[in-house]
Amino acid sequence: MKNMLLLAVLVLVASCGNKENKNKEIIEEETVSEKTRLGGLALYTVRDDMDKDARATLKAVADAGYANIEAAGYKDAKFYGMSTQEFKSLLNELNLNPVSTHHSEVTLENADKTMADVKAVGFEYFVVPIPPMGHFKSESGVMSMTGGAENLARILDILGEKANKAGLKLLYHNHDFEFMKDSDGVVTIDYLLENCNPDHVNFQMDLYWVTKAGADPLAYFEKYPNRFKIWHVKDMDDEGQFAPVGKGKIDFAKILAKKEQSGMQYYMVEQDNTFDLKPLEAIKISHEGIKNIGFK
């Protein structure tokens, strides 16, 4: 009887030890997973999924290996239908870092409230993704702006001052039309770089749209060093359409070599349209792409 009791105790101890070891292994796996996360994702890529189920989508973003996020879903003082505290708590729970957020709806009147909400979540960068306040135009897939470069620079300087007071950093995000001469012969992006206050206004370079415009990112890094704080990393296929990173023709390794000169602090994978691929599948392919290219 004593031997049977002793055997039962030994089995129980061994079982507990195995359970502890398994729990330890799970914790270690999770820790390794956190350490191996890299890069950021512009949530515009998965906007439809975010509208359906933000929690599940953000978990999928984290599971795909991304460490940082850029939001693009602010409306009625909420991010993706969540209060600032709810959104912040969810990101904390999933260990996703809120780096930047796009605000096409910003005006001189609503900027202070919007920026206060952005700061409350914990974002660092407030991004103006298009000429705001009704100045952006898109007809038959062709983008343009009204009001002129000088007017846009004035608006960005005011917004930049407001962002600075709110403890944020303001960036302007380009498409292709800013690299082309307007009706006055002015290249908008050049005007902004040369005339906006660099203490308050810097830039998010979208590498796809720069390429689409026929401009050279490296030339801009050299001429305007330290002005491009975040990159949008999205690839271009042979037909000039969006493609997962590493599946197109943009030489990201060459661009990445000039990271320091550009001033890049963060980069965000983005793919506006994933075509036949589901967005949540496309972001996995792109994450493998950034690792293979050498992004850290």
Provide the pLDDT confidence category of residue 141 given band limits of 50, 70 and 90. Answer: confident
Sign of CA dihedral 267, 68, 283, 177: negative
Q: What is the pLDDT of residue 36?
A: 81
pLDDT in tens, 215-264: 999 999 999 999 999 999 999 999 999 999 999 999 999 999 999 999 99
Query: How far is it, in rounded angstroms, from Cα 44 to Cα 50?
Result: 9
Instruction: Count Cα neighbours of 100 within 13 Å in the Cβ-side half-sphere.
Output: 29
The tens digit of pLDDT for each residue in 90-109 reads 999 999 999 999 999 999 99
* The pLDDT value given to residue 33: 59
Reported CATH class of domain 38-293? alpha beta
25 band by pLDDT with thresholds 50, 70 and 90: very low
Name the pTM for this structure.
Answer: 0.89
In whole angstroms, give the CA distance from residue 229 to residue 242.
22
- Whether the pLDDT of residue 19 is over 90: the answer is no
**In 3D, which of 192, 290, 206, 195 has the Cα closest to residue 245?**
290
Q: Is 276 exposed, middle or buried (0-12, 13-18, 19+ CB in 10 A)?
A: exposed
H/E run at residue 137:
strand 136-139
Write b or e for each residue in 79-118: b if 16 or more Cβ atoms lie within 10 A of its Cβ, otherwise e: bbebebeebbebbeeeebbbbbbbbeebeeeebeebbebb
Asked if 86 contacts 117 with a C-beta cutoff of 8 angstroms, the reply is no
Contacts of 188 (CB under 8 A, 6+ apart): 145, 149, 152, 177, 178, 179, 182
Q: Report the chain's mean pLDDT, rounded to a whole number.
A: 92
Rounded alpha-carbon distances, angstroms, from residue 258 to 56, 226, 234, 242: 36, 11, 17, 23
Taking residues 187-198, report their average pLDDT: 98
Helices 54-63, 84-93: axis angle to 10 degrees equals 30
Counting beta carbons within 10 angstroms of the beta carbon of residue 155, is it exposed (0 to 12), middle (13 to 18) or buried (19 or more)? Answer: buried
Q: What is the pLDDT of residue 34?
A: 66
The span from the CA of 255 to the CA of 246, in Å, is 13
| 41-83 pLDDT tens trace | 999 999 999 999 999 999 999 999 999 999 999 999 999 999 9
Q: How far apart are CA 296 and CA 261, in angstroms?
A: 16
Q: What is the rounded CA–CA span in Å between residue 241 and residue 232?
A: 15
